[in-house]
Structure 1
Amino acid sequence: MSAKLFIGGLACTTTGDGLSDAFSEFGNATDSIVLTDRETGRSRGFELVTFSTSKEATEALEALKEQDLDGRRIHVQFTTDRRG
């Protein structure tokens, strides 16, 4: 079963490619979405990454939580389902 991680605290210069590189060693990231400002197109400082399995997501979370990426301390956690 797939699992999704929230990555926050990103620098506005961090790209999806940079994050893919950081997370790729932990498994198959099947989807990656950098959330951007609708008006400016700039990163809002967070991304959602979906892994093929919860094991891969857990390994990525444990290895990368509170690490520095592009000069900023990132925060990694599992997403919560906001639906009903």
Structure 2
Amino acid sequence: MKINVGNMSFSTNDEELRDLFSAFGTVASVEVVTDSNTNRSRGFGFVVMPDESEGNAAIRSLNGSEFAGRKLRVNEIKPSE
């Protein structure tokens, strides 16, 4: 399950995002999207969790929750058809 995480603090890094989602299960990969010129976070990222039930639990718990001073927007990325 691929998860979009928006409205993150610009100081959030891959390790912090992985730690946040690891509380809900196995995290296969994490990517905080960064600006290519400044190497600073652009405020969003992606998390892949192989177990759908763990991913859904993370989405339910983390969407709207505060992390590093910001209310996260967390939702599943549906595959394009």
TM-score w.r.t. structure 1 length?
A: 0.90
Alpha-carbon deviations, 1:12-59, whole Å to 9, x = none?
A: 111111111111111101010111111111101001000011111101
Structure 1, unpaired ranges of 5+:
none
Give the RMSD, CA atoms, in angstroms: 1.1
Runs in 1 of length 4+ with deviation above 6 angstroms? none
Q: Where do 5+ consecutive residues of structure 2 fail to align?
A: none
TM-score scaled by length of structure 2: 0.93
Q: Tell me, in whole angstroms, the C-alpha distance in 1 between the residues paired with 2:25 and 2:2.
A: 13
Give me the identity figure in percent.
31
Q: Is the 8 A contact 1:27 1:52 kept in 2?
A: no
Q: Match for 2:42 among 37, 41, 44?
A: 44
Cα distance in structure 2, aligned partners of 1:45 and 1:70? 11
**How many residues are paired up?**
81
- The answer for the alignment partner of 1:65 in structure 2 is 63
Please report how far the alpha carbon of residue 80 of structure 1 lies from its aligned counterpart in structure 2 after TM superposition: 3.0
Where 2:74 maps in the other structure, the secondary structure is: strand
Mean Cα displacement is larger for which, 14-23 or 70-79?
14-23
